[in-house]
Amino acid sequence: MPTTSARDDSGDPGADAGAARTPAAPGTPVPPGAPSLPPTLGLVGAPLPEATRRLLTDAGLRLVAPAKAALRLCVGARPPARPPAPPWLWCSPKRIDPADAAAAVLAGAYDVAPIDDGLAALIARRLAELAVRQTPGPSPVGFIAESAAARRFAAELDRAARTSMPVLLTGETGTGKDLAARHLHGQSKRRGELVPINCAAIPNELIEGELFGYARGAFSGAIHDYDGLLRGAAGGTVFLDEVDDTPRTLQMKLLRVLEDHVVSRLGENTWRQVDFRIVAATNRDLEELVRRGEFGADLYQRLAIVRIEVPPLRDRSEDLPELCAHLLARFYREEPSAPHRVERLTAPALAALRRYPWPGNVRELRNVLFHALVAKRAGDELLLSDLPEHVVRAQPGGEGLRLVDRAAVARAIDGGRMNLRAARDELERAALELALERAGRSPAAAARLLGEVGRGASSDPAGTVRAMMRRHGLRG
């Protein structure tokens, strides 16, 4: 959509001379203590009707060049194909279709509004909201947040930490979900302990007693009373790591605890009130598990009131230099007697780390660097030749990205037609069908043809392929 020259009442293009006036729309709420943004607007797209321009200027809003504006107005009957830099509003001269409103917001619009007599008051309110700034809190200890993805994640954590709402941390293995859980607890006002519970590490037959506790004599071997981990977290935070491995029978009892904040030990009928915050983590798609009947829908909805995705390392390449420096320092804290002291990485070594896709994320980066440091003989720089061969051989972007038509993806995004889940499923099904055809329908042989399957390295690739086959309805 073309950019038009914005004019003020004097008719000068891009004019922004004169004193800024405070928006004076009647009844406009201004948050207390909010710093005032310059009440300037930039027009993008079709021109505004003259009557609407007068309403805006009478309300103390000035029209300036889009690059100089505090808020940009995209004017047109449809959302812009190429949105401007935020913040921006989509203003339509026609009735706004809900699908178009959703497309505009997904493209980055702060709000959508019809062009009518209430537009000036609405814009004044949005300017006041945009003027409110929150001081960002500290990043999680040990989490480097220089990249845009990491900063967005840290800001989400900071906002969630100020509440007592349940948080579901999602993301690939090795991204630092445990760091995020500790940060959520540490930044909260809770005075109790953080109690981490790895649901995959406790045998199914013992997990109920570990969580809820038991009375003496409740079962063979229960020779004393035990309050359980949930009661031990009173006043604090419970961190359910790998919550997807929770048995279905336990999920129903856990839902009752989260809904009513009461716990009953095994072997007794007494319910005790307990107050804790719940933080859960998973590296699997819980929504998909719910659809397959492997995870309770009610428990998922209760855990995912606030859902935060931990970004993978491949989306945080700007963080690599500082992450490497942090890990080098950590290595020498843990190994003070090391015969050498590496202080930096050479440019070729850092470039190789940037190219590698890091399926194991920060945990894999730690292992790669620590392995290289253990094998290092001398010198204060980590060289490309010090890195493992599989990291050095990695090509930019990886083999799979060459299957993607980036121009087609760009067209789908610009046209508001992108469905990432459907596109991913289509690629996965196509690759799976071809591999099975070439492998004589053998899941184990197909897994070898597909390379890495699932999230990160799988301990049972054939089992992962069989799960994929069930999900896509393919026969063996």
**Residue labelled with tokens 């007068």:** 54
d(CA 244, CA 225): 29
d(CA 44, CA 6): 8
Q: Which residues of 434-466 are buried (b: 16+ CB within 10 A; e: fewer)?
A: ebbeebeebbebbbebbeebbbbeeeebbebbb
Q: Pick the closest to residue 190 from 180, 198, 182 (CA basis).
A: 182
Identify the pLDDT of residue 459.
Answer: 61
CATH of the structural domain 148-309, one choice from 2.40.50.140, 3.30.70.260, 1.10.150.530, 3.40.50.300 = 3.40.50.300
Whether residue 227 contacts residue 189, with contact meaning beta carbons closer than 8 Å, is answered with: no
Give the residue extent of every domain in the chain.
Answer: 1-133, 148-309, 313-393, 422-472
- Global model pTM greater than 0.85: no
Sign of the alpha-carbon torsion through 296, 299, 304, 310:
negative
CATH of the structural domain 1-133, one choice from 3.40.50, 1.20.144, 3.30.160, 3.10.50 = 3.40.50
Pairing of strands 71-75, 40-45: parallel
Residues 313-393, CATH architecture: Orthogonal Bundle (1.10)
AA letter at 268 = E
Identify the pLDDT of residue 297.
Answer: 93
User: How many residues are recorded in the chain?
Assistant: 476
Residue 315 structure tokens: 């989306």
CA–chain centroid gap for 327, Å, is 23
Query: What are 42's strand-pairing partners?
Result: 64, 72
Identify the pLDDT of residue 16.
Answer: 32
Ranges of beta strands (E only) in 11-166 are 40-45, 62-64, 71-75, 88-92, 111-114
Give whole-number Cα distances, 257 to 161, 164, 190, 246, 281, in Å: 21, 15, 19, 14, 18
Residue 175 structure tokens: 């991204």
Q: Pick the closest to residue 168 from 16, 29, 279, 55 (CA basis).
A: 279
Q: Pick the closest to residue 61 from 138, 125, 152 (CA basis).
A: 125
- Mean pLDDT per 10-residue section of the chain, whose length is 476 residues: 35 31 38 53 88 88 87 91 88 90 89 92 90 67 78 88 91 90 88 88 82 77 79 87 88 86 80 88 90 91 93 90 93 89 92 89 94 90 91 58 62 77 83 82 81 63 82 79
Listing DSSP states for 176-219 in one string gives -HHHHHHHHHHTSS--S-EEEEETTTS-HHHHHHHHH-B-TTSS
Domains 148-309 and 313-393 fall in the same CATH topology: no
d(CA 23, CA 31): 13
Identify the pLDDT of residue 142.
Answer: 66
Cα-only R_g, the chain:
28
CA–chain centroid gap for 237, Å, is 21
What angle is formed at CA 202 by the lines to CA 197 and CA 204, rounded to 5 degrees?
Answer: 125
Residue 15 structure tokens: 């004019």
Give whole-number Cα distances, 162 to 183, 194, 238, 395, in Å: 11, 16, 16, 42
Identify the pLDDT of residue 222.
Answer: 73
